[in-house]
Amino acid sequence: MKNFVIFLSLLSICLALQVQVEEQDKVDQNELNRLFKINYDGQVYSGYLKADAEGKAQFHYMFYPAQVDPLNKPVTLWLNGGPGCSSLQGAFNENGPFVFIEGTAEFKMNDHSWTSFTNMLYIESPITVGFSIGPELQQSDESTAQYNINALVDFFNKFQEYKKLPFFISGESYAGIYIPTLADKIIDYNAGQSIDNRINLQGLAIGNGCTDPTECTEAADPFQIHVYKFYGRHNFISQELYEQILTVQQDCYGKKTPNCTKIADQVEIEVRGNNSDKIKFNPYNIYGFCYTYTPEGSKMSQKFGGMRQSNDDSDVPPCADVQGLYHYLRLDEVRNLLHIKKESLPWSICSKYMNNYKVDDRGSYYLYGKLLKNQIRILKFSGDVDAVVPITGTMYWVDKLQKEFNLATLKPWRPWFVPSKRIYDPDQNAGYVMDLDGLTLLTVRNAGHMVPLEKREESKEFMSKFIKGQYLP
């Protein structure tokens, strides 16, 4: 009896400490609504997660419980890419409950927020990204994965009532590396834990994500074959140049020979013109608007495609809509609201301090066999007018994966639809989808690199069905 009383006492202390930790990170709802000029009745948490054992690396997070019945909804982590770009893009521009009106610094409520069907967690990763802090060490895909699993474990220690819920990881761009490498760490972590202590990983949803060695790696960067094929198929380059590319594609992969470099340079000239500073072209959506707002002290990248370079000191991607993000996240009042540490740098959409970041030239493709073996469901969604990580590359490696692992086609290539906004018109084509055994490939029509930003209704439709394990019709 005495031991039972001691147990209950310890349990009550642990629960009290957990509540105290949650309360420390709770965002003042009235102040949030006042500063952001919105009327949000949900709870928001913002604080820091330990990303290493010593607590020197601390990753900033924001957590939005689901709008209804959060303890019976899954938890979904969202990661943006880069490498080195902030996941608050996702929260405030893409799938959070309140987002910026396009091209402005004004918020609006998001009618298609993912918090309508899942709890949403956003982590700024790795070190120096957004408000995250830590020692200035050389970072890599491997170290980022380790930091991310540490931060995730700390999150579930803080919010233990969410720990047993189904867990999904989602994101876009270079998160095509972050997500599978984190999933790999979770699989290994779970192998050493009791059932009650495991992370209940169910699936991955990756948008326009770097995956294959022929995408987003140093070897692929000199001659971006998938990007060039994409331009050729959309008539952004001459037929003569397109035919040259097809002729030399095998010889030019990973090489900087004079002829290959000449062809690569000609692609840029034909797409953007001789004076790239004056010809504004948005590689993230080839038919989209090119925003040129750059905050004081920042620099917009002139990188045309592929991964960010290790010597790139820019912090704004080309044509990015960043006005609202910089306006709010650099206000002292907002830093205080979000419990930002004093040592955190002024917020930037992408970190200037990713010099010498080590990219794994295997991409993340090599992990897919392990993910499939462990029955982790995978959704690959792709905006079909993105030229940075285009659908041509995704189609290439999905076909390769299906052949390598003999994945059965469960439902063949077909269109999928969303309801029309016009009363007398039928549902509208939203893209195309194919279901393999363990992996779904989905395109989103007329969407660019950031699908949940440009196609919020469509994103809510496919993501909610994926989480529920349902096929699109």
Please write down the HEC assignment for all residues of the chain.
CHHHHHHHHHHHHHHHHHHHHHHHHECCHHHHHHHHCCCCCCCCEEEEEECCCCCCCEEEEEEECCCCCHHHCCEEEEECCCCCECCHHHHHHHCCCEEECCCCCCEEECCCCHHHCCEEEEECCCCCCCCCECCCCCCEHHHHHHHHHHHHHHHHHHCHHHCCCCEEEEEECCHHHHHHHHHHHHHHHHHCCCHHHCCCEEEEEEECCCCCCCCCCCCCCCCCHHHHHHHHHCCCCCHHHHHHHHHHHHHHCCCCCHHHHHHHHHHHHHHHCCCCCCCCCCCCCCCCCCCCCCCCCCCECCCCCCCCCCCCCCCECCCCCCHHHHHHHCCHHHHHHCCCCCCCCCCCCECCCCCCCECCCCCCHHHHHHHHHCCCEEEEEEECCCCCCCHHHHHHHHHHHHHHHCCCEEEEEEEEEECCCCCCCCCEEEEEEEEECCEEEEEECCCCCCHHHHCHHHHHHHHHHHHHCCCCC
Per-residue model confidence as pLDDT tens digits over 130-173: 999 999 788 999 999 999 999 999 999 999 999 999 999 999 99
pLDDT of 102 over the 90 cut? yes
Per-residue model confidence as pLDDT tens digits over 220-255: 778 899 999 999 999 999 999 999 999 998 888 777
pLDDT of 262 over the 90 cut? yes
Write down the pTM of the prediction: 0.92
pLDDT of 78 over the 70 cut? yes
The pLDDT value given to residue 136: 79
State the Cα–Cα distance between residues 431 and 21, nearest whole angstrom.
44
Torsion of CA 151, 153, 159, 165, to 10 degrees: 120
pLDDT band at 405 (very low <50, low <70, confident <90, very high): very high
